[in-house]
Chain A
């Protein structure tokens, strides 16, 4: 399983497009928002928690269909299925790779983009904490969606339709934690609920993803 993780990480780094693209998307998304709503810093400051969370969510979504697609096309997935590694382990490792290549960089650059959007000062710790706690859930849910649609040609649009409704609770608690932080309030309650969702998805969804993969490989 560690070997799988190393292989996927190496592929993501060397084949290009893994790390950079979703970060670039996140940057472009936050740059476009002021064009849409106007440059008034007051408005931008109020909506920035939601915008940053939405941007991170969409950046995660964009890279989901790569999770299994390439391995499915060149037959790696079949090989792993016949190896002693359990499918659940594969799904968990894929989610971890996706998080390391997408979620973790997003957490790192989010404060800088928060600066661009005039995010109020007290919100920064909450922004980092909520993204760090919430993006693993996005990756785990996304891996499940990718496993469902792996056998479908051009399944990208369907994947978003399936995954986005599942992102609702994560988005609500994540954005709520940041906006409460921005108002100077204590945001531990939404943060704790967010952590609960993350732990729950990490515990359960690899099994669901593995079930979907087995069906698709049949």
Chain B
């Protein structure tokens, strides 16, 4: 990376050219890390960990389910941060990154819901249960859908970025309220958090290491996809500008 003494601020990446150069340099590396982490974490988790004595081999879905669920929430948080940056400092790359992250986050939500259903069928005896955690993920999925639909529907790109940012801010507040309202509404069947920093007892080490590696893998997968998609959006924006210029000249 062409790091110089003058480069001191994160805001330099608000310049699309700077962002494109850095992300082009960064992409092969993060792609490689993603592949390594996912292969190591998932293969280790699937084939080289013991079965749980009560849940049998179904426990292994945790290596997909938990990272996907964690990244689904973090993707929305990232969209919230980039939306705020767009609203406050009006950096286009930030708005485009939020746009790029939404479908990725939506797919992670879908993966978490799907793997949860696959696991729940043999364990709870049902594909779906109106448990607060499950329901709030379904609602998160709806938020992603609405957010993406609004991006598609508004023609002017700047207005679209503004409106989706406002929606993201308001939606975040309502997503949190919904989460706690759901706790009030129904008692859960879902187990508590498997990983937390302040818990006395977490998951056993044999499961912990592959889980952390696949967690990193999903994190880097998200980063890779968002970088790719942001670059695509920037290129699409440039293309549109070029076409407009040619039409003006003609």
Contact = CB atoms under 8 A, between A and B. Distances in A.
Interface of A: 144, 148-149, 151-152, 155, 158, 161-162, 164-166, 168-169, 172-173, 176, 190, 193, 197, 204-205, 208, 211-212, 215-216, 218
B181 to A, nearest CB: 4
A148 to B, nearest CB: 5
19 contacts: A148-B150, A148-B167, A149-B150, A152-B153, A158-B153, A161-B149, A162-B150, A164-B142, A166-B171, A166-B174, A168-B139, A172-B184, A172-B185, A190-B184, A197-B177, A204-B173, A208-B166, A208-B170, A215-B159
| Top 4 A-B pairs, shortest CB-CB distance | A169-B181, A215-B162, A165-B142, A162-B146
A169 B174 contact: yes
Contacts of A215: 159, 162-163, 166
A199 B174 CA distance: 14
Interface of B: 139, 142-143, 145-146, 149-150, 153-154, 159, 162-163, 166-167, 169-171, 173-174, 177-178, 181-182, 184-185
Contacts of A193: 181, 184
Contact of B159 (A165, A166, A176, A218): A218
> Main secondary structure on chain A at its contact with chain B?
helix
A125 to B, nearest CB: 21
Nearest to A190: B184
A158 B148 CA distance: 10
A165 B167 CA distance: 12
Given A172-B185, A218-B159, A144 B170 contact: yes
Contacts of B174: 165-166, 168-169
Given A176-B184, A218-B159, A166 B154 contact: no
Given A162-B146, A168-B182, 10 more contacts: A148-B167, A161-B149, A165-B146, A165-B174, A166-B171, A169-B178, A169-B181, A211-B166, A212-B162, A215-B159
A169 B135 CA distance: 12
